[in-house]
Structure 1
C-alpha cells in the first residue's frame, strides 16, 4: 500500500512538472518595478558616473564663518563632505566670488588670491575627503582614491587686473576657469583687442572661458577666437526663464558646435522654484544643444535660493531620478553628470599643449591695444 502511495505521489509530481513545462503555457509576467525604482537607478548610476558640480561658492562663504566642520557636517553651509557623498558628487568647481558691497569686492585680485589660499588650506584640512585637482586626469585620480576633486574657478574677469602676467600667476596657483564678463575688455560691445589676447593666452595656459553673463557680442567673439571649448558655469535656458544670465537657443546651438557645455543651475531665480523646473531646463538644453553639451551646477553656498527638493548637494539623486522617469538614457545621464565636464577639461588641456608650441607667453598690455 505504501508503495502504491509513493507511485501515485511521484506520478502527480511528474504531471505537475509536465504541466509547468508545457510550451502552450505563458510564463509568469515579471513583477512591476517599485515606485522608488527611478531613485534606485539614479543612485546606482551616480556610483559609476558621479556628479561634477560646476559652480560651488564655498570659499567665499567659509571666509564669513568663525568655525566650520566639513567632515562631520555643517548646517551653516550647503556643501559638506557627508552631503557630497550622499549626493554622488566627485568633483567641484569652487567659484572665487566677489561679495558685493564689501571691501572684498573692491580689491578683486587680492580677494581671489585670498580665496585660492583659503581653498588650499581647506583641502589640506580634510585630506580623507577632498583633493585639489588641476586637470581632468587629477580629478579622475581623486575619484579613484575615494576623494572629491576640487578645481579652482571660475574667477571673475576683474581678478586678472587687466594683466596677462596676473592671469599666468593665477593659473600657476591653480585657477582653471575665468568668467569673461564685467571687465573693460569684455563688455556689451564685445571683446576689445586686449580681450581677444586674453582669450588666446587662456588657450595657451589651459584656462577655460566661462561665458556666463557675457553679452551676446562678447560670447560670439570668444567663440570665433578660441581654439578650446568654452563653458557656461551657471546658465539656464532663456527660452524658459528670461534671467539675463540664461542662454538663448541660437547661442546654445553655437556653443554645441564649438564643443562647449552649459551647466544648468539649481537656482530658483534662474531655473524655477521646483525640481521639475530644473529638469525642464536640462531637457531644453539637451534638445537644442545635444546631450554632449549639458551639465550640472548646484550654485550652492552662493546665497542663491534653491528649488524645492534641491536644498543642498545631497539632493542630486532626486534630480537624476526625475530625468530617469522622463526617459533619459543612461548614456546621456553619464555625459550630464561627469562626461561632459571631463571632456571640456581634457580638450582645453590638449589645446593648451598645441598653443604652447605655437606661441610664447603674450607680452600684450591693455594700454597698448585698447587706447
Structure 2
C-alpha cells in the first residue's frame, strides 16, 4: 500500500452559466418596428437566460444531493490486486476516489457477498474476511473514505468531505441458523443482509426461524435485502418488517425478463410498504443503454412512487454495464437523462440521496424503538 496521499477537492463547485456578451447591432431588427418620433427611446428587453444544460444541471444537483450507491463489489475485486491506491486512482477497477468525486457519489454500500457455493462455517469465515478487508481499505484511504453504519454517520462523512462506506449486504448463508452470528456481524458494522439462498427464506416464504431473523434485523438496525427472493418471501417480509426493506439489485420485470427483476404487483406492494427498490446499472437486468436504465427508473417511480426508488451501480462486479455508464464517474450522465425526461429536482434528490437516507433512518428508529419496548417489558415483568 502506497504511503503517498493526495488531498482532493471534496465537492465540485456548480457555477452559474456565463452570460453571453451582447454587442450593439449595426443592422436593423427584422421585422422593423416604427416608433413614433415623440416617444422616448427605451432600452431593449434583456435576452432570456439560455436554457440550462442537462449535464451542468446534473452536476449541480449532485453537488447538493450526491449518489448513495446501493451496491459495490469493490472489496472482492481488490482481493485480486497485489497493489492499489484508490486515492491516487486505480485503473484495475471501476472505482477510485477521483472517479467517485467526479461522479457525485457521497455514499456506497460495499457488498460483503461471498460465492454461492460457500455455506456454513466457510461462508461465515469468508464474510468475516470481507468485513475486515473493507475496514482495512477504508483505513488506508482516510482522505477519501470513512466508515458509516447509520444515516447520521453517512451525513457526517459527507460534511467532512469523505465518501461514506457502509458494509453490506452480506449473504444470510453466513449466519446459518444462528441469531448470535447475526448479532456478531452487526457489531462489526454490517448494515444489510440478503435473505435469499437460505432454507428459511425459500420459494414458500419465511419459516418461523426466518421470521425471527427479520425481527432480529429490526432490533439490530440491519436492513433486510430481498434481492432475488421469492415473491412469497418478499410479500411476507414487506408485511412483517417494521423497518424499510431493500431490493438492492432489482429492475422492472415488465421491461426486461431477468432474474431479480420485480413484477408490477410487487412494485406496487413495495411502494405501499415504503420499501426501496435500487435499480442496478447492469445490462442483463436493465438494458444496454442509459435510456433503457432510465426506462426502468421511470417504471419503478410510477408504480412504487418517487420515495421508493434508488440506484445500485453494480460496479466492480461481473455485471456488464450499459453503454455510457462504464464506471462510477458516469452518474451525472444518467441524471442528465432523467432531467431531460422532466424529473423534478426534488424527486432526483430523493433518487440519489434522500431515499437511502430514509431507509437508514427507518432502520435506526425501528431498532431504538424495539429495544426500548423490550426494556419496558423487562422492567414490568
Looking at structure 2, the residues matched to 350 and 62 of structure 1 have their Cα atoms a distance apart, in angstroms, of 34
> After superposition, where does 1:166-185 map in structure 2 within 5 Å?
166-185=181-200
Are residues 1:336 and 2:360 paired? no
Q: Which residue of 2 aligns with 1:70?
A: 86
> After superposition, where does 1:322-333 map in structure 2 within 5 Å?
322-333=337-348
CA RMSD in angstroms, aligned pairs only = 1.8
Deviations 1:81-121 (A, max 9, x none): 010000000100001121356x7998210111000000001
Looking at structure 2, the residues matched to 131 and 178 of structure 1 have their Cα atoms a distance apart, in angstroms, of 21
Looking at structure 1, the residues matched to 359 and 315 of structure 2 have their Cα atoms a distance apart, in angstroms, of 22
Looking at structure 1, the residues matched to 335 and 250 of structure 2 have their Cα atoms a distance apart, in angstroms, of 18
Match of 1:20 among 42, 56, 71: 42
Three-state SS of the structure 2 residue aligned to 1:307 is coil
Looking at structure 1, the residues matched to 220 and 106 of structure 2 have their Cα atoms a distance apart, in angstroms, of 25
Q: Retained in 2: the 8 A contact 1:96–1:112?
A: yes
Q: Retained in 2: the 8 A contact 1:271–1:277?
A: yes
Are residues 1:30 and 2:45 paired? no
Question: Using a 3 Å threshold, how does the CA distance of structure 1 residues 186 and 104 change in structure 2: closer, same or farther?
Answer: closer
Q: Retained in 1: the 8 A contact 2:306–2:347?
A: yes
Looking at structure 1, the residues matched to 258 and 39 of structure 2 have their Cα atoms a distance apart, in angstroms, of 67
Deviations 1:219-244 (A, max 9, x none): 01111211111111111011101112
Q: Which residue of 1 aligns with 2:102?
A: 86
Looking at structure 2, the residues matched to 320 and 311 of structure 1 have their Cα atoms a distance apart, in angstroms, of 15
Task: Structure 2: state its 5+ residue gaps.
Answer: 1-36, 376-381
> After superposition, where does 1:98-113 map in structure 2 within 5 Å?
98-99=114-115, 107-113=122-128
Three-state SS of the structure 1 residue aligned to 2:259 is coil
Match of 2:69 among 30, 53, 63: 53
**Structure 1 ranges of 4+ moved more than 6 A:** 103-106
Q: Retained in 1: the 8 A contact 2:97–2:144?
A: yes
Q: CA deviation at 1:161?
A: 2.0
Number of residue pairs matched by the alignment: 339
Q: CA deviation at 1:357?
A: 2.1
Larger Rg: 1
Three-state SS of the structure 2 residue aligned to 1:19 is coil
Match of 1:157 among 168, 172, 177: 172
Task: Structure 1: state its 5+ residue gaps.
Answer: 1-14, 361-371
Q: Which residue of 2 aligns with 1:136?
A: 151
Q: Retained in 1: the 8 A contact 2:244–2:273?
A: yes
Q: TM-score, normalised by structure 2?
A: 0.86
Q: Which residue of 1 aligns with 2:160?
A: 145
Three-state SS of the structure 1 residue aligned to 2:217 is helix
